[in-house]
Structure 1
């Protein structure tokens, strides 16, 4: 999602991102349609970061890695689970965006209709902000897993740990924008719910940057 506060085009039928081809997704992203947009991109950044962590971990199952196998197996499972959740969040973002557009289209001719419309808009905007907040949680998880993997991961694919951190950073930073615009549309009273998320975003970005630097140091020393 890129914006939630204005009237949108008619709701569309979306193909789940898990069922889309890469070309089909990019064509939709480039098209003049309300969704997919930045919210889906953020979720897919997280999914790619999780997939990279899984890949590096699966390359760290050699005989020489036997002593770390319980940790590696746990990282693989956690990263696979995170990838699945992030992919589902891309679909959830499209649904949330559609809900906001539908709420703004509700009739407002009577006092009762205006009240119902206002309530629907508030609920939809909250939902639209909560999706990227969940993406931030996945980004946090990915950075944690990648950080844990770096000292024990197969050094032949260590740069992919850095790439995973970069994906998580992008997911968090993009989600920050999508949360902020929906919170701004909600007005006063909603900031307290999302204040911890904004703090978490800053922490994820800082940790991802530090991990990227650690990977650069590992390959240049």
Structure 2
């Protein structure tokens, strides 16, 4: 069975998520944006073996501690989609702009695409390509638990920003309506920031992608 802990990190309070298989204690960390010591402490407290780092996208608040975690545990980096390479290349610039002390450039061991899966222990996560916030954004979905980690695609009552380089509003709306919402109203989601929600509630009430959105 999938277990998880949300670990808010960085001044942006980004929802880094620690996923693990309760049968094998193997784990994956999604979007380690910073505060590597907090993430490592959670891994230790649960007695887990980290097997990989997963990235929804390469903005620094989601990816800043990727290299630190990957190097410390000697584990591969999977994700995001290759279209986010330019954001990885901009990490030194993002580091200076936002005052991140320990962010490092990294090279993913595996780029992810629509239809891919990632595994740890007895857990399989499905990968959905959901560009718009960034051009290479992906989402991770655990079908058995009806739980998705959606990064900055969708929030409770809102959607991701599209005013960053190579962001696109119409593409983001399509990613949500034509990819995520098709997974079902009862799917719970962990956003990149803020509280969890369900796709059904957002489909009904979200002012950008809900039934009454213009």
TM interval, short-chain normalised: under 0.3
TM-score of the pair, normalised by structure 2: 0.27
Instruction: Determine which structure has greater relative contact order: mean sequence separation of CA pairs < 8 Å that are 6+ residues apart, divided by chain length.
Output: 1
As a proportion of its length, which structure holds more helix?
Answer: 1
TM-score of the pair, normalised by structure 1: 0.27
Pair member with larger Rg: 1
